[in-house]
Structure 1
Amino acid sequence: MEYLDFSSVITIIRKYINDERTVVDRNLNEEVKIDQMHFLDQIFASFCDDADSLDFAFDNGQVCRWFNGQARISPRIISFYLDEENRDLLSADIEYNVLPLMYDSAMAVGDAHTLLIQDTTISPEVKNKLTVSYPCQTDRDKADLLAAVLFFGMEREFRKRDVNNKALLASGCFSPLMRDFILDVKVPRPCHHFCGRDAELEKLHELLCSKGKVFVQGIAGIGKSELTKAYAKKYDKEYTNILYITYSGDLKNDIVNMDFADDVDENETADARFSRHHRHLRKLRADSLLIIDNFNTVTAKDSILDVILKYHCRILFTTRSKFDTYASVNLEEIADTETLISLMGCFYSDAEKQRPVLKQIIQAVHRHTLAVELSARLLETGILKPLPLLNKLKTEKAALDVTDTIDITKDGRSRKETYYDHIHTLFSLYQLSNAETDVMRNLSLVPLTGIPGRLLANWLKLCDMNIINGLIEKGFVQTVDGRTVTLHPMVQEVAMDETRPSVQKCRTLLDSIHEICLLHGYDISYYRQLFQMVESVIERIENDDMPYYLRFLEDTFPYMDKYHDLQGMKLVLNELSALKKLCRVIQEYNSDKTMDYASVQEAMDGICLTIGDIQQATTHFKKAMAIYEVLFESEPDVIEAKKQELLETYTQSGVYLGKKLLSK
């Protein structure tokens, strides 16, 4: 007897929808294959469209756990459908969004009815109530039954499923099937206009078959990532598993952050989680492929690269760096001009009419794939005609003579930075509005792994996705499965140079993150994306507002501790350590009686309280108060207010630490 819950009901519904079915992504307004998250978008469309749900984002790993019965579905979704009117909306969404996708909806309803009737843990009275529309005569009857059973499965007592995946018992020369065990590592689809790389795909496959480990090398924006995505799509049937990681700068941390079905211990250390994930990955054989994208480093800078290279599976890296001691494919510019004209035709409707000028533009940007694409997209906007664009590229000296040699340095940058000049020029020619520029400024802080577009829009207080979608159409913003947004690494670097993200300029974004981190009792499903965003802010943002930035760091620290994000906590402490050095500089060359110096002392006071170092916290408290007493000597009320404000942090930290000790 199977227990009726969300997992069992949603599995029945999903079983009768072919994987090749497509739906319109409501954010991008384009057809996409119906994966698990787009499937929930269809079922819970009313919830997603509700004004109170704009800050809610589906997390792929969490959604997989809901489907597999490893976690209870979000209480916010359950709470929404507790309202009877909203349950009617659930039925309507199933009728109009889901039933048309099914190849046999009557059979799905029959299976759901059987599941309900055979579950002996449900009373006859409840069964009769849930099956009032059975046998179903109309689509509305079918939708009513599926909605009733689905909601009952969501609302009733949650029973966690066995985490032991039977596929992991496989042994011998074949890999265990990891599809339902390792979550959120699906390879993104290649862009629709991928072309001109057939020879490279064949060479790559030959090298992987013979060498096992291959590095795809080349300059930024030449198409390395798209080549690997196209490879995964073309040779998908030859692999038991294909896993995909976007490199964050630390392979160990990337493996720690992989989502495994048996990640159930919230108090597990990063080292323990790495060891467990590592043991599973070692079981992979040559019939499995691990893709590590944007591995832009050198061997000596990643401590566990040698460990990863000992895996028995095939591994494919994309990198701007040089790894000549390993098997590699050096990706060059596409030589065939006709292929590049065809590529421009994917974005520029008058490409055939303007072939002579387009050929010159292709030469002017040195056949650089990303620059060719952005040129075509710019022409389609009508901002410039082909000939003026060609003249701009020449007169602004963005393009050097085509005979110049473009060498790659250790960090992958051209010595003459020719290609970056192309992208800088094209970026400026787009004449982005102030609103678009501001979104690009904030997007330049988004980690390469990306964040849900709706979540970013919510953080930036945008009323809709129009600006973000417009930047997607311009080619600056990339999407993963029509949901997660990020910038191309090369565009990200250019955007940072052009927009200069700072604490003051990105205040709306920081305020949104800050507000979340102050809600210590509030659980969120997207905490990994949140902390990755915080880490990216620390690494990239210009600090032009010391007091605010320190308060931001101080308040993100305990929220990271809540989710045991040790890497993020370490990064915050390192940043504060650097600010302590700044204190000494301020004291030595300026004065230890300034607001900046007091702000640093106050922030260190809060952090020390959070980690339980009361003695050190008191030292910082006294230093901060001594400064305030000098600065506000004639305003005793201000001094007293500041004192009470700082003392309140002791009370709050005491409550926080007390709760933490009690939970242990």
Structure 2
Amino acid sequence: MVKFVGRETELQNLHEMLQENNQVVIAAIAGMVGLGKTELALQYAIAHRENYKGGICWLLAKAGDVGIQIVQFARTHLDLNPPQYLDGDLLSQVKYCWQHWHEGNVLVVVDDLNDYSKVETYLLPQLPRFKVLITTRLQLDFPQSFTLNVLGESSAVEVLQAWVGEKVTQESAAAKKLSERLGYLPLALNLVGRYIKKRRISLAEMVQRLDAKGKALSHQALALDEKDRTCTLNVKRGVITAFELSWEELSNDAKELGVLLSLFALAPIPWLLVENVETGKDAEQLEDSRVELESLHLLQGEDSYQLHQLIREFFQLKQAEFNQVEEFKRSLCRVMVAIAKEIPDYPTFKQVTAVSQAIPHLAEVAKNLTQYLSNDDLLCSFVGNALFYDGQGLYDQALPWYKQCVEVTQKRLGEEHLDFASSLNNLGCLYRSQGKYSKAEPLLQQALKLTRCLLGEEHLEVATSLNNLAYLYHCQGKYSEAEPLYLQTLKLRRRLLGEEHLEVATSLNNLAYLYNSQGRYIEAEPLYLQALEIWRRLLGEEHPHIATSLNNLALLYESQGRYSKAEPLFQQALKLRCHLLGEEHSHIAQSLNNLALLYESQGRYSEAETLYQQALTLMRRVLGEEHPDVATSLSNLALLYYYQEQYSESEHLYLQALELWRRLVGEEHPNFALSLNNLAGLYESQGRYSEAEPFYLQAVEIFEQILGINHPHTMKCHENLANLRDRFPPNPE
């Protein structure tokens, strides 16, 4: 291995910057491509690894979301147990990692940053033991920043000497001239140094070859300079000529592999992905070509391989020389689409980890290679990217992929195509998951109408679309509109799939959930039990659907006052969810909330309060403030305080919940009415009768309109209003 030379002063300066501050230090190494910013950071990490007992976390800014990389590093290298399925804000996962990081100083390297705003919120640790080192081409306004320039002449010659030894002393003038020709750029100096060592030529001969090659390539160098104006023409010409000389050393197979690698994203490339692309070469031939590229310093890595940005650009320039490139692009698209199709709607932590390295390359296909995707595969490239984030509850990261999917399918396939309907459906479901019901409804309605038009009534896609629209109506409190759609879905799925199918179990569960919401408990119970039994037979006991089914059945029993049956089911659901989903998931908060509800019903207020507070904190952390589950959690905690006669605390939370429901679902929703009823009850208990009555009246009107006169909520609200009037009769007109 060649000794790292030429940057000793910079290494020392960098270490002093990182150690001198008592707060988190962000030392940014800025400069153009090829200066050795990454190598300097790497050498610093190697030289000072003993200073960082808490670990060295290396993040590749261009290889995907930095927040996700932080979480994956913590799981893989620190044996932390952060959220596996955080249903909401990725920032909460990152915070968890920083809060539970191993003891000792920590070096966090963010390599090749091109947009600081995308990582700023993730660099949260405020303890002096955390040091953050950024390499970037940007000019960041940090007190600890410094710009890395090209090497001085003596340092450039020293780099050459590390490769060719005494030749530098013997040909000092040629060494200086050669360094000048290469623009004193470390990347070019290292490439040429390797070339001289391998070819065993003199430095003077090398200068001649560069001069000759440079004249022949002047137009190409100029073109590349136009693409990157931060580099001088002299430096670019030197780099291009150095690359060309290395290129000529390669066999045709190695050149072909370099061109293939340039089709991937500027991120680590798992070798298995390369082997799966149809090249006409067997594994041994590909490996031989890879070794050639490595021997000339054109490729680095192990299992996953990385091209330098300039080398990738150079290989991209060479694509035109190979007839096979068009087929490479098509084959790469097929490989990535196959991976996208394997990403499930509810990926486990292991599945997320397994596919994470492929995601930047799937994104590259969706961004730049869609013309090489068949019409049948077009949807998969976008949906695969979206599901990777959506399945983890990272809705903000999933949203742009679903939006782009709608735009691309509309443009390429038109508005009378099934994939366009699917893209509308996917976007609508995401908005529903975010509680953005007004945005979701027209998309899901349009998707159902189009699917029916294209496929007729007897198709599973129509059943899926019916179910999604029904679930949205359910969430909106439009129960009378949801029920016929749920029933149609169940009937259609039974007819097309039979009784023993996961989708049939889902329909049974959803219909039972609706009946439970309407107070139709006797009708709900057998449906819940059927769904649970089917899921158990088909999925076993270790699946999120089982936890959901146990939770729903427990809710039903709690609503009926069957507390002894409800409690063990709530506890089983909570335990299973913690096991499968991790501690920081909205379903965990839901389970905590439901168990607290049970304890409250039993008068176990101190136990309930602790769980309610945990649930509310977790809901806010993972879902943000503007979500229906947060409003529910606020209402539940407010009701507990009411029972404990902590009226001021209760009123404060009830008002928050009421306003949140108003913003999220409007004033014609059962949850808004329930909030009115609860607030009225609080005012009545305080003797504030004139304030309570209009809230009861408004709640009764909404309940009758939405749920009907025989629903338990409606009847209870009528009873509350009657009791109020018995105690405080209205004034005669």
TM-score (normalizing by structure 1)? 0.54
Q: 2:555 matched to which residue of 1? A: none
Q: 1:514 matched to which residue of 2? A: 337
Given the alignment, which residue of 236, 239, 247 partners 2:61?
A: 247
Spell out, residue by residue over 1:625-657, the C-alpha distance to the aligned partner (whole angstroms, 9 max, x if none): 5xxxxxxxxxxxxxxxxx69x957668998786
Q: 2:402 matched to which residue of 1? A: 573
Spell out, residue by residue over 1:71-122, the C-alpha distance to the aligned partner (whole angstroms, 9 max, x if none): xxxxxxxxxxxxxxxxxxxxxxxxxxxxxxxxxxxxxxxxxxxxxxxxxxxx
Please tell me whether the aligned partners of residues 28 and 136 of structure 2 are also in contact (alpha carbons under 8 angstroms): yes
Given the alignment, which residue of 103, 111, 121 partners 1:304?
A: 121
Q: 1:439 matched to which residue of 2? A: 257
Correspondence list, 1:29-44, <5 A:
none
Question: What amino acid sits opposite 1:572 in the alignment?
Answer: W
Q: Which has the higher helix share?
A: 2
Q: 1:227 matched to which residue of 2? A: 40
Correspondence list, 1:268-417, <5 A:
268-269=86-87, 271=89, 274-282=91-99, 288-297=105-114, 299-300=116-117, 302=119, 304=121, 307=124, 313-337=130-154, 340=157, 342-343=159-160, 346=163, 356-379=173-196, 382=199, 386=206, 387-394=208-215, 396-397=217-218, 414=230, 416=232
Please tell me whether the aligned partners of residues 503 and 545 of structure 1 are also in contact (alpha carbons under 8 angstroms): no
Given the alignment, which residue of 350, 354, 360 partners 1:526?
A: 354
Give, in angstroms, the shift of residue 485 of structure 1: 0.7
Question: What amino acid sits opposite 1:463 in the alignment?
Answer: A
Q: 1:198 matched to which residue of 2? A: 8
Please tell me whether the aligned partners of residues 284 and 313 of structure 1 are also in contact (alpha carbons under 8 angstroms): no
Spell out, residue by residue over 1:118-154, the C-alpha distance to the aligned partner (whole angstroms, 9 max, x if none): xxxxxxxxxxxxxxxxxxxxxxxxxxxxxxxxxxxxx
Given the alignment, which residue of 319, 335, 338 partners 1:499?
A: 319
Measured at CA, do residues 316 and 534 of structure 1 come closer, stay the same or move farther in structure 2, by a change above 3 Å?
same
Q: Distance in 2 between matches of 1:193 and 1:493?
A: 27
Measured at CA, do residues 308 and 319 of structure 1 come closer, stay the same or move farther in structure 2, by a change above 3 Å?
farther
Measured at CA, do residues 517 and 287 of structure 1 come closer, stay the same or move farther in structure 2, by a change above 3 Å?
closer
Structure 1 window deviating more from structure 2 (376-385 vs 536-545): it is 376-385
1:452 paired to 2:270: yes
Give, in angstroms, the shift of residue 509 of structure 1: 2.0
Please tell me whether the aligned partners of residues 294 and 319 of structure 1 are also in contact (alpha carbons under 8 angstroms): yes
Measured at CA, do residues 502 and 599 of structure 1 come closer, stay the same or move farther in structure 2, by a change above 3 Å?
farther
Q: 2:304 matched to which residue of 1? A: 484
Please tell me whether the aligned partners of residues 106 and 130 of structure 2 are also in contact (alpha carbons under 8 angstroms): yes
Q: 2:421 matched to which residue of 1? A: 605
Q: Distance in 2 between matches of 1:450 and 1:226?
A: 16
Measured at CA, do residues 558 and 236 of structure 1 come closer, stay the same or move farther in structure 2, by a change above 3 Å?
closer
Measured at CA, do residues 201 and 476 of structure 1 come closer, stay the same or move farther in structure 2, by a change above 3 Å?
same
TM-score (normalizing by structure 2)? 0.50
User: Helix, strand or coil for the counterpart of 1:277?
Assistant: helix
Question: What amino acid sits opposite 1:332 in the alignment?
Answer: N
Q: Distance in 2 between matches of 1:445 and 1:309?
A: 40
Measured at CA, do residues 602 and 378 of structure 1 come closer, stay the same or move farther in structure 2, by a change above 3 Å?
farther
Measured at CA, do residues 257 and 419 of structure 1 come closer, stay the same or move farther in structure 2, by a change above 3 Å?
farther
Q: 1:423 matched to which residue of 2? A: 239
Matched residues, number? 433
User: Helix, strand or coil for the counterpart of 2:11?
Assistant: helix
Structure 1 window deviating more from structure 2 (523-532 vs 411-420): it is 411-420
Give, in angstroms, the shift of residue 541 of structure 1: 3.6
Spell out, residue by residue over 1:169-205, the C-alpha distance to the aligned partner (whole angstroms, 9 max, x if none): xxxxxxxxxxxxxxxxxxxxxx744212221111111
User: Helix, strand or coil for the counterpart of 2:32?
Assistant: coil
Correspondence list, 1:61-72, <5 A:
none
User: What root-mean-square deviation, in Å, do the aligned CA atoms of Structure 1 and Structure 2 show?
Assistant: 4.6
1:474 paired to 2:303: no
Measured at CA, do residues 277 and 563 of structure 1 come closer, stay the same or move farther in structure 2, by a change above 3 Å?
closer
Give, in angstroms, the shift of residue 367 of structure 1: 0.8
Q: 1:634 matched to which residue of 2? A: none
Question: What amino acid sits opposite 1:616 in the alignment?
Answer: Q
Please tell me whether the aligned partners of residues 447 and 533 of structure 1 are also in contact (alpha carbons under 8 angstroms): yes
Question: What amino acid sits opposite 2:134 in the alignment?
Answer: F
Measured at CA, do residues 255 and 356 of structure 1 come closer, stay the same or move farther in structure 2, by a change above 3 Å?
same
Q: Distance in 2 between matches of 1:651 and 1:421?
A: 61
Measured at CA, do residues 229 and 546 of structure 1 come closer, stay the same or move farther in structure 2, by a change above 3 Å?
same
Q: Distance in 1 between matches of 2:82 and 2:426?
A: 25
Give, in angstroms, the shift of residue 370 of structure 1: 0.6
Question: What amino acid sits opposite 2:61 in the alignment?
Answer: Y
1:537 paired to 2:362: no
Measured at CA, do residues 498 and 604 of structure 1 come closer, stay the same or move farther in structure 2, by a change above 3 Å?
farther
Q: Distance in 2 between matches of 1:440 and 1:378?
A: 18
Question: What amino acid sits opposite 2:330 in the alignment?
Answer: R
Give, in angstroms, the shift of residue 417 of structure 1: 5.6
User: Helix, strand or coil for the counterpart of 1:292?
Assistant: strand
Measured at CA, do residues 258 and 574 of structure 1 come closer, stay the same or move farther in structure 2, by a change above 3 Å?
farther
Q: Rg bigger for which structure?
A: 2
Measured at CA, do residues 577 and 460 of structure 1 come closer, stay the same or move farther in structure 2, by a change above 3 Å?
same
Measured at CA, do residues 383 and 234 of structure 1 come closer, stay the same or move farther in structure 2, by a change above 3 Å?
closer
Please tell me whether the aligned partners of residues 451 and 462 of structure 2 are also in contact (alpha carbons under 8 angstroms): no
Q: Distance in 1 between matches of 2:396 and 2:235?
A: 34
Give, in angstroms, the shift of residue 371 of structure 1: 1.2
Percent of paired sites with the same residue: 17
Q: Distance in 2 between matches of 1:506 and 1:254?
A: 27
Q: Distance in 2 between matches of 1:301 and 1:458?
A: 32
Measured at CA, do residues 283 and 362 of structure 1 come closer, stay the same or move farther in structure 2, by a change above 3 Å?
same
Spell out, residue by residue over 1:47-89, the C-alpha distance to the aligned partner (whole angstroms, 9 max, x if none): xxxxxxxxxxxxxxxxxxxxxxxxxxxxxxxxxxxxxxxxxxx
> Runs of 5+ in structure 1 lacking a partner?
1-190, 402-406, 584-595, 626-642
Q: 1:110 matched to which residue of 2? A: none
Question: What amino acid sits opposite 2:211 in the alignment?
Answer: L
Given the alignment, which residue of 375, 395, 403 partners 1:547?
A: 375
> Runs of 5+ in structure 2 lacking a partner?
430-442, 466-492, 494-500, 510-534, 536-544, 549-733
Q: Distance in 2 between matches of 1:567 and 1:347?
A: 52
Spell out, residue by residue over 1:512-552, the C-alpha distance to the aligned partner (whole angstroms, 9 max, x if none): 22223334679756211122321233344463556265144
